[in-house]
Amino acid sequence: MKNLINKILLGLIGITLICLLPFWVGDYYLFLLVLTCLNAYMATSWNIIGGMGGQLALGHAAFFGLSGYTSTFLFQKYGLSPWAGMWIGMVVSALYGALIGLLCFRYKVRGTYFALVTLAFVEILRIIFVNLKTFGGSEGIVIGLKGHSWRAFQFESKVPYYFIILLMLAALVLTIHHFRNTRFISYLRAIREDEEVAQALGIDVFKIKFWGLILSACLTSLGGAFYAQYVLYIDPPSMFGLTRSFDMVFICIMGGMGTILGPVLGSVVFSAFMEVTNAIFKGGYGANHLILYGILLMVVILVFPRGLITLFPTNFHRRKDAVRN
Amino acid sequence: MSILVEFLADLTYGILTGGVYALIAVGLSLSFGMMGIVNFAHGSIVMLGMYATYYSFTHLGLHPYLSMALVIPLFFLFGMVLEVGLFRFMYNVPHNNQFLLTCGLMIVLNNLALSAFSANMRTVQVSFLEEGFSLGGIVISYGRFLAFVVGVIFYLLLTLFLRKTIIGKAIRASAQNREGAKLCGINVSTIYTYAFGVGIMFAGVAGLLILPFSGAYPDVGDTFILTAFIIVVLGGMGNISAAFWASLIIGVAEALGATFMSSGVKYLFPFIIFIGVLLFRPTGLFVRKTGNG
C-alpha cells in the first residue's frame, strides 16, 4: 500500500514537472522539447510494425509526408482546418500503407528485401512530389499565417504545440501499454520471433502484418500533419527524405525495439546528445557533431544490441518485450 | 526517324552509364551477396573515391585515370581495414542492427568529408575527356566512353579472378556455403576480408571514373546507393554477372525515362522496375542454378 502511494506521488510530481517545463525553459529549448516529443511519438509509431512486428520498414516518411502534404494542401486551397485535414491525411497514408502491405506481404517480401522495397516506395513519392507543381514542386509550400487560433492550428507561443504533442505521445504510449498483452500485439511478437512457426500455429501472418503496418502508418501520419503545422513549411526533402525515415528507426533501435518506453528514451538521448555535441563542436559546416552521432549509433548498437533501455531495471522493459538476438 | 536516333542515343548513353553503375553494384553485390550485409555506406566509399581522385589531380597533378595506381591499393587496404575493424562484428547481428551500423558508418564518412572537404562541388577539367566523337549521329564524350570501357575491363578481370584463381574460387565457395567452405579448409574469415577489400576497391574505382563528368560533394554517394541496391537485387543476391547486366538495364531505363517522360521523373523507372521484380521474381531477373560467379 505504501509502495503504491509512493508510486502515485512520484507519478504526480513527474507529471507536474513535465507540464511546468515549457514555462520554465526558454523558447529555444521549448522548440527542442517539441521536436523530442514528436520524435518519440514517431519512433513509438514505427515500433509497432518495426519493433514489435520485426519488419524493418524504412519508408515511414511516406506516411509522414503524405499526411503533411494532404492537410497542408486542403488548408491552403480550401481553408479546411488542419484538425480535420489530418484525418483525411491519415486516410491517404493508410491507403498508401495498404498498397505497400498488400504487395509486400501478399508476395512474402521479407527482411532486407522488405526494407529496400519500403525505401523504394518513399523515393517514388519524393520524386513525384518534386515534380508536381500543384504541391509546390521542389520549392515546397509555405503555410500562410491565418491568425492564431485553434481552428487554424497556429499559435503565437509554442506552449500549445508542446501540450498537443505531449498529449499525443502520452495517449499513444499509454494505449500501447494498456493493450500490450492483447492477441494482436502478441501475434506481432510471435511473427517477429519466427514467421514460419507463427504461421504453423495458426496465426494469419498476412492479416496481422498488414494491419500492423496500417496502424503504424496511421499513427505516423498524425505526426506528419502536426509537423507541417508546427514548422509551417514543407518540402519534399524534409517530408520524404531518407533522414526522415531513418531517424525514427535509429531512435527506436537505439532506445530498444519492441519495448514500450524504449523509443521515448531513444528520443530523449538522441536530442540531448545532438544538443550537447552541437554546442561543443561548433563550426566545420555543422558536420562535427554528426560524425560523433554516427559513432554513437555504432557504439550503442555494438554495446547494447537490444537498446539503451536494457540499462534500466527490468520492470521498465519486461524481458519478453525486447528483441532477442 | 528522329525518334529512332533519339532512342539509339538514349540506348548508348544508358549503356555507358550502366557500365559505371556496374562497378558500384558489383562491389556491393560481393558484400551483400556473400555476407548478407546491407552496406548503406557503400555509396560513401564511392564519394571518397571521387575525392581521392580529385586531390591526387589537384595536388599531385595526376591525370584522373593515372591516379588508379593510387586509388586501387588505397581502397583495397581501406576495405580490408573496414572488414577487420567493423564489418566482422556484424555477421551474426540481426538485420536491424546491421542496418544501423552501416548507416552509422555512412553518417560518419559523409560528415567527415563535409568537415574536411567542405560542401563545395569539386570538379576536374581534363580537356581530352570532355571532347567527344560521333557515332552515326550520336555524340559520345571520351570521358563517358572510357569510363564504360574501364568499367567493363574491371568487371571482366573480376570474373576471371573469381573463376580462375584459387582465392577467387575460395570466395565463391564461401559465398555459396560458409560451413562447407570451412570444412574444405578455407579460412573463411580471411577470404571475407579479401572479398570485402575487392568490393571497396571497386567502389573507389567507380568514384574515380565518375569524377570527370560529375562533381564530387559529400552527399553524392546517396544518389548511387539506392540505385546500386536496386541493381543488386534485380540481378539476384551475390550474382556478379547478373549485377552487371542489371546495371545496363537500369542505365538504359533511366536514359529512356529522361527522354520520353521528363528528366525529373527518370529516377522513377528504376524504382518501379525494382518493386515489380521483387514482387514477381524475388530471386532476381537472371537466376542460374550455380548462382555465383
- The mean pLDDT of chain B is 85
The verdict on A302 touching B (C-beta cutoff 8 Å) is yes
Least confident range of A5-14, A284-293, B75-84:
A284-293
Residue A180: what are its φ and ψ, rounded to 5°?
Answer: -60, -25
Least confident range of A186-195, A280-289, A297-306, B208-217:
A280-289
Mean pLDDT, residues B267-279: 83
Instruction: Give the pLDDT of residue A143.
Output: 83
Instruction: Give the pLDDT of residue A278.
Output: 81
Residues of B with CB under 8 A from a CB of A: 36, 38, 86, 89, 93-97, 99-101, 103-112, 114-115, 118-119, 218, 222, 226, 229-230, 233, 262, 264-265, 267-268, 271-272, 274-275, 278-280, 282
State whether B107 and A294 contact (CB < 8 Å).
Answer: yes
Instruction: Give the pLDDT of residue B293.
Output: 39
State whether A290 and B86 contact (CB < 8 Å).
Answer: no
Of B119-133, B198-212, B223-237, which one has max mean pLDDT? Answer: B198-212
Residue A95 pLDDT exceeds 70:
yes
Q: Which of B190, B157, B200 is nearest to B32 (CA)?
A: B200
Residue of B nearest to A291 (CA): B108
Bigger pLDDT: B129 vs B241: B241
Residue A164: what are its φ and ψ, rounded to 5°?
Answer: -65, -50
| pLDDT class of B289 with cuts at 50, 70, 90 | very low
ipTM of the complex: 0.82
| pLDDT class of A91 with cuts at 50, 70, 90 | very high
Residue A322 pLDDT exceeds 70:
no
Residue A142's beta-bridge partner residues? A233
**Contact residues, A window 92-121, toward B, CB-based 8 Å cutoff:** 103-104, 107-109, 111-113, 115-117, 119-121
Mean pLDDT, residues A202-218: 93
> Chain A closest CA to B263's CA: distance in Å?
10
Mean pLDDT, residues B21-34: 85
Q: In whole angstroms, what is the distance from residue B278 CA to residue B243 CA?
A: 15
Mutation for A interface: B106, B111, B117, B233, most A CBs within 10 A: B111
State whether A56 and B95 contact (CB < 8 Å).
Answer: yes
Q: In whole angstroms, what is the distance from residue B237 CA to residue B252 CA?
A: 21
Q: Which of A275, A176, A171 is nearest to A226 (CA)?
A: A171
Mean pLDDT, residues B266-279: 82
B272 neighbourhood in chain A, CB within 8 Å: 124
State whether A119 and B93 contact (CB < 8 Å).
Answer: no
Instruction: Give the pLDDT of residue A19.
Output: 79
State whether B101 and A298 contact (CB < 8 Å).
Answer: yes
Place of cell 553485390: B29
State whether B93 and A305 contact (CB < 8 Å).
Answer: yes
Residue % of chain A over a pLDDT of 90: 39
CA distances A94 to A44, A168, B289, Å, are 17, 18, 40
| pLDDT class of A64 with cuts at 50, 70, 90 | very high
Q: In whole angstroms, what is the distance from residue A84 CA to residue A105 CA?
A: 31
| pLDDT class of B291 with cuts at 50, 70, 90 | very low
B113-166 residue pLDDT tens: 988 888 888 888 777 777 777 777 777 888 888 889 999 999 999 999 988 999
Instruction: Give the pLDDT of residue A323.
Output: 54
Instruction: Give the pLDDT of residue A68.
Output: 94
A111-133 residue pLDDT tens: 888 888 898 999 899 989 988 88
A251-279 residue pLDDT tens: 999 999 889 999 999 999 998 888 888 88
- Which DSSP state fits B90? G
Least confident range of B36-40, B136-140, B207-211:
B136-140
> Chain B closest CA to A2's CA: distance in Å?
42
Grid coordinates of A304: 547494447
Mean pLDDT, residues A32-36: 91
CB pairs under 8 A between A and B: 132
Residue B172 pLDDT exceeds 60:
yes
- By Cβ distance, the residue of B104, B106, B226 closest to A123 is B226
Q: Residue B38: left if φ>0, alpha if ψ -120 to 50, beta else—which one?
A: beta
Least confident range of A84-88, A114-118, B95-99, B192-196:
B95-99
Residue of B nearest to A296 (CA): B104
Q: In whole angstroms, what is the distance from residue A247 CA to residue A305 CA?
A: 17
Instruction: Give the pLDDT of residue B219.
Output: 84
B279 neighbourhood in chain A, CB within 8 Å: 103-104, 107, 109
- Which DSSP state fits A232? S
| pLDDT class of A17 with cuts at 50, 70, 90 | confident
Close Cβ partners of B248 (under 8 Å, ≥ 6 residues apart): B14, B15, B18, B19, B22
> Chain B closest CA to A186's CA: distance in Å?
20
Q: In whole angstroms, what is the distance from residue B74 CA to residue B76 CA?
A: 6
